[in-house]
Amino acid sequence: MADVKDFKLPDLGEGLEEGEIVEWHVAVGDVIELNQTVASVETAKAVVDVPSPFAGRVVEQVGEVGEALQVGTVFLRIDLDVEGGAVVEDEPATLAATEASPAQGGFEAGAAAAAKSVEENAGLYGEVHQGEAGAKSTGLDADEEPQPLVGYGQGKGGARRRRRGGAAADAADDGQAQAAPVRPLAKPPVRKLAKDLGVDLADIAPGSGPEGVITREDVHAAASGGQGAQATAAATQTPASAPAPTAGVAAASAADPFAGFAGGGEKVVPGFRGRTPGEVEPIRGIRKRIVEKMEVSRREIPEATCTKWADLTELWELRKDLTEQARADGFDVKVTPFALILRAVVLGLRRFPTLNGMIDREAGEIRLHEHVNLGFAADTDRGLVVPNIKDAHGKSTLQIAAELNRLATAARDGSIGAGDMTGGTFTVSNYGAFGNDDGNPIINHPEGAILGVGAIEERPWVVQGELAVRRTCKFSLVFDHRISDGGEAGRFVTYVANLCENPARILLHS
């Protein structure tokens, strides 16, 4: 008799309402193991791999790739009684725990465990961490066995599935096993990027990353007409081993020397991150979160702006010395100008705390945060994300630099945890990294201010009455005028600029 269980989409973050299916890793009819990854799902915060709380045969997939499902709705049905196939041993406790009522921890416990699996089964496919805010993202090496899922229950030695049919089936298992096709190795954000650009990962596997992992660069190369890692391999072939072009290809090239150009003479090249004119993008996942946050900020916050130019020549030189000294002391940390600016911002927020505040309309209060969770805008293939350095007020310059690097790397490769992107109190936007001198950033609601940092470039500057060439940049502070008055906001940005012009003062407080 069939024993079909409904696997409901768990809350993979902190109060998330929906998730978009990026990729199914199983198909109807597949026999799956306990904790096996069944799908990659994009939430408003990250792309995560979802493990199954059941072992059995997949009988139904609810939802297509690209479809958004509400948290708590069924998105996979699994038959635990696999007729003529695998059965689960030593799992009555597991199933009982899963079938428990909500009061006994049923779906809530299962959802929490599924979210926890993201933390415990990180690997090549880019699962991300959930749980407490600020938890660091760590992953398993490619050759490590994933650990059992805490929360679903295991038999001794882990749940094992056995083929029905007695000795004959066992003999077949011990004999010749059919080789399954090898799934290309790539993290969920890379898989989503490949899907968006129409690139078949199987065509460019193995990738140029460690252990053949396909990287974003491989996908972009394939989308622009290259072959990623394969193109690199082909380039290393000797003339004798390299395949000769076919007569048809040579003839086509000779016949149409303008192949690859549009009718008006425009070279046909892929747009930024594979975008093309005329395409339509559904508002889902990260983009939906961005839309909602920007709309609320513009609708509710009466903002004002004040700016200040600063000479960062000394800061520019100091970061080199700090990096060299840190590495000489055994710390593999690169101290960037942005890390020093972040430390200066922390000092500024302690002196002018209203910039680190928020409005609670329901309570009719302005709350000044005791802690500084310093956010920074990160531009990724999936859109804008804003991770934050937890308790930055209690960290040294070196610690801020290390955490900045960790969070920026995790944001780019898609392994950023939901806890790393919630609870921010103030944000810094480094649009200078794109070569922009100035900007008007939007406050990250419900925060009370955001600081924009322009490009640090050599410009003419007056030093003691003489014209000189110095490395300068422009700070732009956008603040909620309900919380801070112009005088305090102006003093804050001037104070931060002065610290950056005299970076020894930053270290004095470290």
- Let me know if 11 is a catalytic residue: no
pLDDT tens digits, 191-212:
777 877 878 888 888 888 887 8
Tens digits of residue pLDDT in 360-390: 999 999 999 999 999 999 988 878 889 999 9
Measured between alpha carbons, how far is 468 from 458 in angstroms, rounded to an integer? 10
Residue 414's pLDDT band, with cuts at 50, 70 and 90, is confident
The torsion angles phi and psi of 15, rounded to 5 degrees, stand at 75, 25
Q: In terms of pLDDT, which residue wins out, 281 or 98? A: 281
Determine which one of 256, 321, 360, 485 is catalytic: 485
Q: What is the pLDDT of residues 78-112, one digit of tens each?
A: 999 876 444 444 343 333 333 333 333 433 444 44
Q: Is 9 exposed, middle or buried (0-12, 13-18, 19+ CB in 10 A)?
A: buried
Find the mean pLDDT for residues 228-257: 46
From 119, 163, 138, select the one nearest 12 (Cα to Cα). 119
Q: What is the pLDDT, as a whole number, of residue 263?
A: 58
Can you list the alpha helix ranges (DSSP code H) found in 127-277? Answer: 166-174, 188-197, 201-204, 216-223, 229-235, 247-255
**Which pLDDT band, with edges at 50, 70 and 90, does 448 fall under?**
very high
Please confirm, yes or no, whether 481 is among the known catalytic residues: yes
Which DSSP string do the residues of 278-307 spell out, in sequence order? T------HHHHHHHHHHHHHHHH--EEEEE
The secondary structure of residue 261, as a DSSP letter, is: B
Query: Of 3, 203, 360, 481, which residue is the catalytic one?
Result: 481
The verdict on pTM exceeding 0.75 is no
Measured at the CA of 115, the angle between CA 43 and CA 14, to 5 degrees, comes to 55
Map residue 277 onto helix, strand or coil. coil
Q: For the chain, list the domains and their CATH numbers.
A: 4-174 (2.40.50.100), 188-274 (no CATH), 300-508 (3.30.559.10)
Q: Is-contact 405 334, C-beta < 8 A?
A: yes
Average the pLDDT over 453-480 and give the result. Answer: 97
- Provide DSSP, 103-143: GGTHHHHHHHHHHHHHHHS--TT-----SSTTPPP----TT
